[in-house]
A and B are shown apart, each in its own frame.
Chain A
Amino acid sequence: MGTIHLFRKPQRSFFGKLLQEFRLVAADRRSWKILLFGAVNVLCTGFLLMWCSSTNSIALTAYTYLTIFDLFSLITCLISYWVMMRKPSPAYSFGFERLEVLAVFASTVLAQLGALFILKESAERFLDQPEIHTGRLLVGTFVALSFNLFTMLSIRNKPFAYVSEAASTSWLQEHVADLSRSVCGIIPGLSSIFLPRMNPFVLIDLAGAFALCITYMLIEINNYFAVDTASAIAIALMTFGTMYPMSVYSGKVLLQTTPPHVIGQLDKLIREVSTLDGVLEVRNEHFWTLGFGSLAGSVHVRIRRDANEQMVLAHVTNRLYTLVSTLTVQIFKDDWIRPALLSGPVASNALNFSDHHIIPMPLLKNVDDRIPVTSTPAKPSSPPPEFSFNTPGKNVSPVILLNTQTRPYGLGLSRGHTPYSSVLGQGLAVPGVGAGQGLRPTFPHVPSRYGNNRTGQPRP
C-alpha cells in the first residue's frame, strides 16, 4: 500500500508539471494551429482505424500509421516551441535543444516499428489471406492522403524540415530524383517541383496513396486479395526507406558524433591550431552537435613549457569559435612544475610584468562584482588598461618582452598575429588618429561577452 502512495504522489506532480508546461506552450498563438491540427488528426485517425477494421485491409492500416506519424510530428513541433521558450536548467546544463532531436528520433523509430509490425502481420496474412471489403478503402485513402498533405504543407515543422534536408536521401527519393531527371530532360519546367529532391513525407504520402489505389483497382476488377498484403509490404518498406535516414541522422546527433560534413572544416581548423606558435599537439578532440546545427566541443592542447597559456588559449578559442559555439579548451604542459621552479627568465619576466598585470586584474574583479547589478559597462572610475590597444603593434610588445629569451616564440607570434593585427590596422586606417581612443571605451564590453555567461546560470 505504502509503495503505491509513494508512487502516486510524484506522478500527480508529474502530470501537474506537464499541464503547466502545456499551458506555457498553449499561450503561444502559433501552437493553437498545431493543437487544432492535432485534434483533427486524432479524429481522423480514429475514423481511419475504424475503416481499417471494417475493410480488413492491412494496406490501409499501414497507411493509417503514417497519419499517426503525422500526429507525432505535430507533437515534435510543439516540443520545439517549448524548447525555444525554455532556458537551461542546472540539471540540463546544455539546455533542452536535444529534446527536439530526441522527439524526431523517437517518432521516426516508432514509425519504423509500426512498419515492422505491418511486415509481421503481412507475413501471417500470406499464409491465410482474408477477404478485403473495398467499401471504405478508397474513401479512407483519400481522407488520409488529403489530411496528410494538408498537415505537411500548412504547418511549418522546423525540426522535421531540418532533418529531412540534412539527412541523406532515402531510396524512394533517389529513385524519384532519378526518374524525374529524365522527365525534366523532356519538360524542363518540372525541375522546380521534382529536383533536387522531393519532400520525403509528401513523397511517401503520394506513393502510399498510389499503392492503395492500385490495390483498390485490382481487388475490384479481379479479386486479387493478395495485392492488399503486397501493397502493405510496399508501404511498410517505403516507410522504412523514408524514416531510416532521418533516424540515423538524429540518432547520430544523440550519440554525440561529429557530423561528417563539418569534419573537413574542423580538420582545417585543427591544422591551423596545431601550427600556432607554442602548440605541440592537439588531442582528445570531441566535437558533437548539441541540437540541430549548433556544435559543441572540447579539446586538449599540449603546449611548449615556455609558451604563454592565455595567449595560446585565446588563439585556439578564436580559431575554433567560428565553428564550435560551446567550446572548452584545456591547455596543458608537460613537466610544468620544473620550469616554474628552475627557469629564472620566466620568473623575472613575470616580475617585470607585474605592474602591467596588476592593472587589469581589479577590472576583472570589478566586472565580476558589478555584473549582477547591471551589465552596462563604462565605469569611468576605473579606466581600461592603457597598454592594450593604443596602437596596433603595442599589444604585442609586452608578450615579446616576456619572451625575450625565446626567439622562435616572438617570430611565431608576429606570424600568428597577422590576421588580427592587420585587420586592426586596416580598420584603424579609416578613422585615423582617433582610433586608439575610440577603441578604448568598447573594451569593458569584452569581459561581459566572454566572462559573464555565468549570470544566467545558477550554480549547481
Chain B
Amino acid sequence: MEEKYGGDARAGPGGGLGPVDVPSARLTKYIVLLCLTKCLKAVGLFESYDLLKAVHIVQFIFILKLGTAFFMVLFQKPFSSGKTITKHQWIKIFKHAVAGCIISLLWFFGLTLCGPLRTLLLFEHSDIVVISLLSVLFTSSGGGPAKTRGAAFFIIAVICLLLFDNDDLMAKMAEHPEGHHDSALTHMLYTAIAFLGVADHKGGVLLLALALCCKVGFHTASRKLSVDVGGPKRLQALSQLVSVFLLCPWVIVLSVTTQSKVESWFSLIVPFTTVIFFVMILDFYMDSICSVKMEVSKCARYGSFPIFISALLFGNFWTHPITDQLRAVNRAAHQEGTEHVLSGGVVVSAVFFILSANILSSPSKRGQKGTLIGYSPEGTPLYHFMGDAFQHSSQSIPRFIKESLKQILEESDSRQIFYFLCLNLLFTFVELFYGVLTNSLGLISDGFHMLFDCSALVMGLFAALMSRWKATRIFSYGYGRIEILSGFINGLFLIVIAFFVFMESVARLIDPPELDTNMLTPVSIGGLIVNLIGICAFSHAHSHGHGTSQGHCHSSDHGHSHHTHGHGDHGHSHGFTGGGMNANMRGVFLHVLADTLGSIGVIVSTVLIEQFGWFIADPLCSLFIAVLIFLSVIPLIKDACQVLLLRLPPEYEKELHIALEKIQKIEGLISYRDPHFWRHSANIIAGTIHIQVTSDVLEQRIVQQVTGILKDAGVNNLTIQVEKEAYFQHMSGLSTGFHDVLAMTKQMESMKYCKDGTYIM
C-alpha cells in the first residue's frame, strides 16, 4: 500500500512541467537511446556535409538511398512478408518515393548551402512542433498564449539566422561562377536563390524552412498509405527501393557526362556507411520505436534537445583536432575550418529553437477552446467558451472583400474616403517603387510618411463603415457615435503630428541642415495635386464652407521629411451648424488639409532656398505649418469632447430651454427634475426627463404633450418618466429592505422616547 502510494507520488508530477517529470525506468531506457541516436544523427549530418564537398549531391542521395534500401529490405523483407501490394498501391508508393527524393534533395542542398549546424537547427523539428506552429500562425485558435510564445520564438530564431548570423562562408560561396555547378539541378536552384536576391546561406535557410514544411506535409500525407501498405517500416523500405530505381538513370547519366572529383571511392565507404546508419536507418527505427512507446509530444521534446545541443557542440569543435576520430573524411581539410562556424546569431537562434520546440511540443490542453477573459477575485482564471458554431461562421475571404466593398460604395462618405485612400495609396506606392528604383532614401521615407497618414484615412473609413451597423445589445443606440470617437482620435493624431513637426523644426532652427532640393519639387507637387483632389471632394460633399483651400503636400525632404500636415484655420471662423456635423469626415478633411499645407510649405521653402539661399526658410515654414495644424484641430477636438462628455448640444441649447419652459406650463404638471439632453451621434439627440404631475391627470396625455414639445426642440430619442404622489409612496414601501427596517425600528424607539419626553413635558 505504501509502496503504491510512493509510486503515485512519483508519477504525479510526471504530467506537469517538462524537465521535472521523472519517467519510469522503462521509459528512461528509450529516452537515453533516443538522445544517443539524435547525437549520432548530428554526427552523421556533419559527416555528410564533408562528404558533399567531394561527392555530387545526386550521387550522394543515390548512395544514401541505395544503402538504406539495402538494409531495410534485408531487415523488413517487404516482399516475403505481409499482404501483396496492388498496382494502385505501387503507384502511390511511386509518388511517395518521388516526394521523398525531392525533399531529401532540398534538404541536402540546404545542407551544402548553410552548413550542418544551421541545417540541424532548422530541419530537425518533429512534425508536432511544425503543425502547432502553423496552427498558431494560420488559425485563430492556436492554443493559448504559451503556443503563441513558442511560435514567436520560432520566428525570432529564424529571423536571427537570417539577419544576425554573419556567416563567413557567404563571401566564399558567392564567388562561385555560375558555370561551375555540377548539374542542371543545382544550377537551377542556385539561380532561383540568386533571383530572390538573398545571400546563399540565407537562401539555404529559406530553402530548409520550405523543406521542413514539405516534410511535415509529406509525413502527414503518407500516414494513410503506410497503413494500407502494412506499416511505415514496410512503406519506407519499398519507397527507398523505388527511389533508388528512380535516381539510377540520373546518376548514370551524371557519372558518364561529368568527371568525378572523388579520387578513390573505397576511402568513402566508411563515411558513407556511418552516414547511412546514423542519419537514415538508426534515426528511423528509433523514431518508430519511440513513437510506439512514448507520447509523441514527449518524444519530440526529448529528441529535439540533444540534437540541437550536439549540433552546437559539433559546430564549435568539428574542425578541432579533438573530433578527428569522428571525422572520416577530408582529414586534410583543416584550413577550411572557418566556414559555417558558430556565431552569436546562431547561438541565440539555437536557444530560441530549443525553447520553441519545447513549448510547441508540449501537449496542448484539448477541449479548452475558451479564451481567457480575466481572473476571478480569488485568482482563478475565467474562460469564455464560444460555441463551435461561432468559430465556423467565418466567411471566405473573397466574399468578405466583395461584401465590404459593396458596403463601402453604398454611401457617399465612405465612398469618398475609399476613393481618396486608393488614390493616396497609389501615389505612395508609385513613390516607394520609384524610390527603390532610384535608390533614393528621401522618396522611400516620404512614402512611409504617406503610409503613416493613410492609417488615419483607414480609420476614418472603418468608422464611416461601422457607423451604419445595426444597433445591438451592447451598442443599444447604434454605432453612430463611433464617428465622433474617430474624429476625436484623428484630432489627437493631428496634434501628435503637429507636435513632431514642431519639435523637428525647432531642432532645425537651431541647426539648419543643408538641403538637397532637387527631388523635392516634383514629389511635393504630386502630393499637392493628390491632396487638392481630396480637398475638393471632401469639401464639396460637406459644403461646410471649408472653402479655404490650403494646399497640402507630402513633403519629403530627403532623410527626414518633415511631415507637415497643416491644416487651415477653417474652424474658428465658421462654426458648424450642428445638424449635419460629422466629426469623422471633419477629421479626415483636416488631415487632408494638413497634408496639403505640408506640400505647400515644402514648395515655398524650396523656392526660397533655391532663389535666395535662405536655408532658414525650411524650418520656419514647418514651424508655421505646425502651428496652423494645431490651431485648426482645436475646434474639432473641442466639439468632439463636448459630445463625448454628454454636454447639452450647444446648437439646441436655446430651443431646449424654451421647450422646458413650455413643459412647465402644461396643465397638471407640478415640476420636472433630472433633465438630461445630449447628442449621441450625428443624428441622434437623446434625452431623459422626470416629470411630477398631480394625481388626477392621465400620464399618457402628459407623455404625449412633453414628447411633442421636445420632439419639436430636436430631441429624437426620448424617455419620459411621469411620477405621481403614488409612485413615491410605492417606492417608499418597496425600498424598505431589511436594513432599512432595522434602522426604522431604531429610529422608532428613539422617537418613542422623544414622544415620552414630550408627554412628560
Residues of A participating in the B interface, judged by any CB pair closer than 8 Å: 3, 7, 53, 90-94, 96, 98-99, 102, 106, 109-110, 113-114, 116-117, 120, 123-124, 127-128, 168-169, 171, 174-175, 177-179, 182, 185-186, 191, 195-197, 221-222, 224, 226, 251-252, 254-258, 260, 263, 284-288, 298-300, 308-311, 313-315, 317-318, 321, 326, 328-333, 336-337, 340, 357, 360-361, 363-365, 368, 385, 388-389, 395, 419-420, 423-424, 426-428, 430-431, 434-435, 437-439, 441-443, 445-447, 449-454, 457, 459-460
Contact = CB atoms under 8 A, between A and B. Distances in A.
Given A254-B644, A310-B724, A328-B674, A336 B698 contact: yes
B734 A260 contact: no
Contact of A251 (B485, B496, B698): B485
Interface string B120-161: 000000000000000000000000111011000000000000
B24 interface: no
Given A330-B720, A460-B657, A258 B474 contact: yes
B74 interface: no
A109 B737 contact: no
Interface in B698-734: 698-701, 703, 718-734
A92 B726 contact: no
A127 B476 contact: no
Given A454-B673, A460-B656, A446 B726 contact: no
B728 A447 contact: yes
B676 interface: yes
A450 B748 contact: no
Given A113-B496, A185-B17, A258-B474, A315 B730 contact: yes
29 contacts: A92-B647, A96-B645, A113-B492, A120-B452, A123-B448, A124-B445, A286-B719, A314-B727, A314-B731, A314-B734, A328-B688, A340-B698, A361-B725, A365-B670, A368-B671, A388-B733, A423-B741, A424-B733, A424-B736, A424-B741, A426-B741, A428-B741, A430-B742, A437-B748, A441-B747, A442-B744, A442-B747, A447-B728, A460-B653
B615 interface: no
Nearest to A385: B729
Nearest to A456: B673
Given A178-B146, A310-B727, A255 B675 contact: no
Contacts of B672: 454
B440 to A, nearest CB: 11
B670 A330 contact: no
Interface of B: 16-17, 20, 144-146, 148-149, 163-164, 344, 372-375, 379-381, 441, 444-445, 448-449, 451-452, 455, 473-477, 481-482, 485, 488-489, 492-493, 496, 500, 507, 572-573, 641, 644-648, 650, 653, 656-657, 660, 670-678, 680, 686, 688-690, 692, 694-696, 698-701, 703, 718-738, 740-742, 744-745, 747-749, 751-752
B638 to A, nearest CB: 10
A446 B492 contact: no
Contacts of A98: 644-646
A197 B645 contact: no
A336 B397 CA distance: 53
A446 B729 CA distance: 8
B163 to A, nearest CB: 7
B473 to A, nearest CB: 6
A328 to B, nearest CB: 4
Contacts of B475: 255, 257
B660 A169 contact: no
A286 B441 CA distance: 54
B729 A185 contact: no
Given A310-B723, A423-B736, A450-B728, 13 more contacts: A3-B573, A102-B641, A109-B489, A178-B145, A178-B146, A313-B730, A330-B703, A364-B692, A423-B738, A451-B692, A451-B723, A453-B673, A457-B673
B646 to A, nearest CB: 5
A222 B740 CA distance: 74
A369 B444 CA distance: 74
B444 A127 contact: yes
Nearest to B641: A102
Contacts of B656: 460
A354 to B, nearest CB: 8
Most buried by B among A287, A364, A365, A428: A364
A441 B656 CA distance: 40
A439 B742 CA distance: 11
Contacts of A329: 719, 721
Contacts of B736: 420, 423-424, 427
A196 B381 CA distance: 8
A315 B734 CA distance: 7
A185 B747 CA distance: 55
A438 B744 contact: yes
A286 B477 contact: yes
A317 B724 CA distance: 14
Contacts of A311: 726, 730
Contacts of B500: 117
Contacts of B748: 431, 434-435, 437-439, 441
A128 B692 CA distance: 72
Contact of B16 (A185, A288, A426, A439): A185
A318 B671 contact: no
A328 B689 contact: yes
Contacts of A258: 473-474, 476
A434 B720 contact: no
A313 B728 CA distance: 10
Nearest to B676: A93
Contacts of B17: 182, 185-186
Interface centre among B17, B680, B688 (most CB of A within 10 A): B688
A361 B146 CA distance: 68
A160 B146 CA distance: 28
A139 to B, nearest CB: 22
A423 B733 CA distance: 10
A419 B676 CA distance: 32
Given A255-B475, A255-B481, A388-B729, A174 B372 contact: yes
Contacts of A328: 674, 688-690, 719-721
Contact of B493 (A7, A113, A168, A365): A113
A420 B733 contact: yes
Contact of A254 (B445, B485, B573, B660): B485
A91 B648 contact: yes
Contacts of B718: 330
| Most A-side CB within 10 Å, residue of B164, B476, B692 | B476
Given A96-B645, A263-B474, A314-B727, A333 B700 contact: yes
